[in-house]
Amino acid sequence: MTNITAILKKEFRSYFNSPIAYIFITFFLGISAWLFFRGFFLINQAEMRGFFGLMPWIFLFFIPAVTMKLWAEEKKLGTVEILMTLPIRDYEVVIGKYLASFALLTVTVLLSLVLPLSVIYLGNPDGGTLIGGYIGLLLMGGAYIAVGLFASTLTENQIVAFILGITACFVLLIIGEDIVLFNAPNWLFPIFSYLGLGAHYSSILRGVLDSRDIIYYLSLIGFFLYLSTLSVESRKWR
């Protein structure tokens, strides 16, 4: 546990040592505020459905940008050689790095709480959808981070990691969409509709916290962290 904390702290600080964290936070807050207030002033409604609805697409670009460096940079610089010869198990490094990205996401999302607070001040929104929305946001972001982290273990080029991350997240997001499901063969239908990330997100958005959705997200995260650990270990055998 102390090892995971040490890696987590180091990675989290390194986000703030470089411009990444500031760019991420600024852009995210900017875009969210714009999305929010556009709806707010145009249709004169104090609610955040539009904001939450667009988040899967905004995270699609933001999160791989946050995770792309986690392994690719270490490999490129060679620092991975010191890191992986420390008395730490490979999965501890993977989890530490994952949690660092997740912490950055959490901080950013917390900062965006200004928006719902103004909604509460100005109108009378449904508390359930708000809380559900934020939990959904973190779960979905957490799943994207796990996918992006895995993409980063595959290459030493950050741009490649970024594009792989976007592609993988995109596939996960759309396979549950109707347009894909209608064209998929029948036997794939239940698999796709379960695996699709978007469907689980929208059911949480409705304010219904179903344990199946939470289990879906947690197992998706666990699965990609496991893949990342395997990928990191594979250096030994190549």
Partner 1 sequence: MIEVRELTKSYGATVAVDQVSFDAHAGEVLGLLGPNGAGKTTTMRILTCYLSADAGSATVAGYDVFEESVEVRKQIGYLPESAPLYADMGVIEYLNFMTQVRNLPKSQRKDRTRAVIDICGLEDVIQKDIGELSKGYRQRVGLAQSLIHDPPILILDEPTSGLDPSQIIEIRNLIKNIGQEKLVLFSTHILPEVSATCSRILIINNGKIVANGTPEELSSQAEGEEIVHIAIRGSQDAIEAQLNELEFVSQWNRVDTDNGIVGYQIHASQGSDAAESLFHVVVKNGWSLTELRQESVDLEDVFLNLTDKEQA
- Binding interface with partner 1 (CB under 8 A): 2-3, 5-7, 9-10, 13-14, 17-18, 77-82, 84-89, 235-238
Please report where in the chains the tokens 């390194």 appear, as a residue.
Answer: 14
Q: Which CB, 16 or 57, lies closer to partner 1?
A: 16
Query: Nearest-CA neighbor of 62 among 101, 97, 33?
Result: 101
Instruction: Tell me how far, at minimum, the Cβ of 199 lies from partner 1, in Å.
Output: 40
Sign of the alpha-carbon torsion through 162, 167, 168, 170: positive
Distance CA 120, CA 94 (A): 39
Residue 47 or 73: the one with the smaller Cβ distance to partner 1 is 73
Count of residues making up the chain: 238
Helix, strand, or coil here: 137? Answer: helix
Minimum CB–partner distance for residue 70 and partner 1 (Å)? 13
- Helix 114-122 to helix 20-42 angle (10° resolution) is 20
Cβ at position 103, least distance to partner 1 in Å: 16
User: How buried is residue 211: exposed, middle or buried, by Cβ count under 10 Å (0-12/13-18/19+)?
Assistant: exposed
Q: How far is the CB of 87 from partner 1 (least distance, A)?
A: 4
Q: Which is nearer to partner 1, 87 or 185 (CB)?
A: 87
Nearer of residues 74 and 213 to partner 1, judged by Cβ: 74
Q: How far is the CB of 105 from partner 1 (least distance, A)?
A: 20
Closer residue to partner 1 (CB): 187 or 237: 237
